[in-house]
Every structure is written in C-alpha cells, then in structure tokens.
C-alpha cells in the first residue's frame, strides 16, 4: 500500500515563518503596553527628603532619591516600605516614608536580650514568645538603649499592656500599622506616637531610584510615554 506524501508549498512555509516572527516580535510590544498601562494607572514617583530612612534612601544625607509607589494597595507585609499621610499637631498633613514593623494583632516591646542590650521584640499575632526583630538594615542597634526611655515615656499617648514578667508592650489594634524609620536616631515614628491607622497609607514602594540612576529612568519613561516624573 502506497502512501501519498504532501509537500508544503513555498508560500505556506513563508507564511508560517512570518507568523512565528510576528509572534516573537509581539511579545515585547505587548509587554511594553502592559508596563505603560500599569505605570500610568497605578504607579507614581515621589521625591524623598530627609535622612530617616538611611542608609536605604538618601544615603549621602541629601535629598536625591526617588521612589516608585503603587497607590491604594491594601495587603500589608512585614518590612514593606510605605508612604504614609501623617496628621501633625497643627492639623496639617505630611507625607512620610517608613518601614512596616508590626501589623494588626501583633505586640511590640523594647527589652534587654541575653547580651544585656536593649532590642526591639515582636510577639506575632499575640501568640507565642516575643521574638527579637531581625534588623540587618540598622547600623547601630545601641540606639534602643535611649529609645527604651522614649518609647515608654509617660504622657506620650500610648497605652501599654503587661506580660507575665511585668514587661510592658504595645498592642497593634485592628486596621493599625506600626512603622519605623530605618535611621532610628533621626526618625519620628510609631516609637514616639504609637500605632497608626492603615487608612492613611498612600501606597507601597515598588522601586527605589537613586541619584545615579535617575537619568536612565527618565529616558526609559520618555520612551514608554510615561510622564510621571515629579
């Protein structure tokens, strides 16, 4: 029994090759369009001033870095960097940038560790033991010796509970967040005024743009047609 063999015509081969090439070229185009849509609808740039987040931001002590934030996000995670709208004593508002340390249901305290040094401790979801917070991003952890007094300062507006060993701790209520600046010695944050409402979170930092990277980013954004550089 003989079988017929079919040969593809040159036109069909060319059409297949053309379709494959077109498919390959369409991937970066679709990716770029997706990036443009995401950036234009969800992300914004913010200039960073001050030194409260050193060494992560403005490591040289000048106002030179930018961050790329996603507005309106709701799912908080530990160590997220957020932009927060803080209401001051004169009822004015100020945008600040801090790191998420504790979430609703957690307990926070400052106490001495086994080396007799003050450190930040967290009891996650009010269960189990208090665990020393791993803070590799802090150059000098001895600052907690001074912050111990400031944290438990009477009249600061913070309300403390006590554990079985009579150590005082701050409980993070529902819809609250406890944030701190990485540069503990130059940051006004929840150690001073307690946990704050999540409703004032502006957004989460997605990208950090340092001074030496800004020109490259500006060119990329111009090519993508994104005009969000403030």
Q: How many residues does the chain have?
A: 230
End-to-end CA distance of the chain: 76
Domains and CATH numbers, the chain: 42-224 (2.10.109.10)
The pLDDT of residue 61:
78
pLDDT digits (tens, 9 = 90+) for 138-172: 877 888 988 898 899 877 788 999 988 899 999 99
Q: What is the mean pLDDT of the chain?
A: 83
CA–CA dist 212, 64 (Å, integer): 9
pLDDT for 227 beyond 70? no
Judged by average pLDDT, the poorest of 37-46, 142-151, 190-199 is 37-46
CB 83 within 8 A of CB 93: no
The pLDDT of residue 120:
95
pLDDT digits (tens, 9 = 90+) for 68-95: 898 876 689 999 999 999 998 899 999 9
Judged by average pLDDT, the poorest of 3-12, 57-66, 115-124, 126-135 is 3-12
The pLDDT of residue 104:
96
pLDDT for 112 beyond 90? yes
CA–CA dist 79, 103 (Å, integer): 10
CA–CA dist 33, 206 (Å, integer): 19
CB 209 within 8 A of CB 67: yes
pLDDT for 224 beyond 70? no
Q: Within a 10 A sphere around the Cβ of 65, how many other Cβ atoms?
A: 22
218 pLDDT band, cuts 50/70/90, is low
The pLDDT of residue 230:
45
The pLDDT of residue 229:
47
Tokens of 219: 């060119």
Strands 93-103 and 107-112: unpaired
Predicted model pTM: 0.78
Rounded mean pLDDT, 97-126: 95
What string of H, E and C letters represents the secondary structure of the chain?
CCCCCCCCCHHHHHHHHHHHHHHHHHHHHHHHHHHHHHHHHHEEEEECCCCCCCCCCCCCCCCCCEEEEEECCCCCCCCCEEEEEEECCCCCEEEEEEEEEEECCCEEEEEECCCCCEEEEEEHHHCCCCEECCCCCCCCHHHHHHHHHHHCCCCCCCCEEECCCCCEEEECCCCEEEEECCCHHHCCCHHHHCCEEHHHEEEEEEEEECHHHHHHHHHHHHHHCCCCCC
The pLDDT of residue 173:
96
């Amino acid at each position: 029994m003989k079988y017929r063999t079919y040969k593809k015509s040159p036109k069909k081969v060319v059409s297949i090759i053309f379709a494959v090439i077109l498919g390959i070229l369409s991937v970066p185009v679709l990716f770029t369009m997706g990036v443009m849509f995401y950036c234009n609808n969800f992300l914004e740039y913010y200039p960073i001033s001050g030194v409260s987040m050193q060494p992560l931001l403005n490591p040289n002590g000048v106002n030179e870095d930018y961050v790329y934030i996603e507005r309106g996000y709701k799912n908080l995670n530990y160590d997220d960097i957020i932009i927060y709208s803080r209401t001051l004593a004169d009822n004015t508002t100020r945008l600040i940038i801090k790191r998420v340390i504790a979430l609703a249901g957690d307990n926070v305290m400052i106490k001495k560790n086994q080396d007799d040094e003050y450190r930040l401790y967290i009891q996650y979801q009010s269960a189990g033991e208090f665990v020393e917070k791993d803070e590799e991003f802090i150059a000098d952890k001895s600052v907690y010796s001074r912050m111990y007094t400031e944290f438990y300062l009477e009249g600061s507006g913070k309300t403390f509970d006590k554990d079985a060993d009579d150590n005082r701790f701050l409980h993070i209520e529902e819809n609250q967040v406890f944030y701190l600046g990485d540069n503990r010695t130059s940051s006004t944050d929840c150690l001073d005024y307690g946990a704050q409402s999540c409703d004032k979170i502006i957004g989460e930092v997605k990208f950090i743009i340092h001074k030496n990277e800004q020109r490259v980013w500006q060119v990329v954004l111009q090519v993508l047609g994104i005009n969000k550089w403030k």
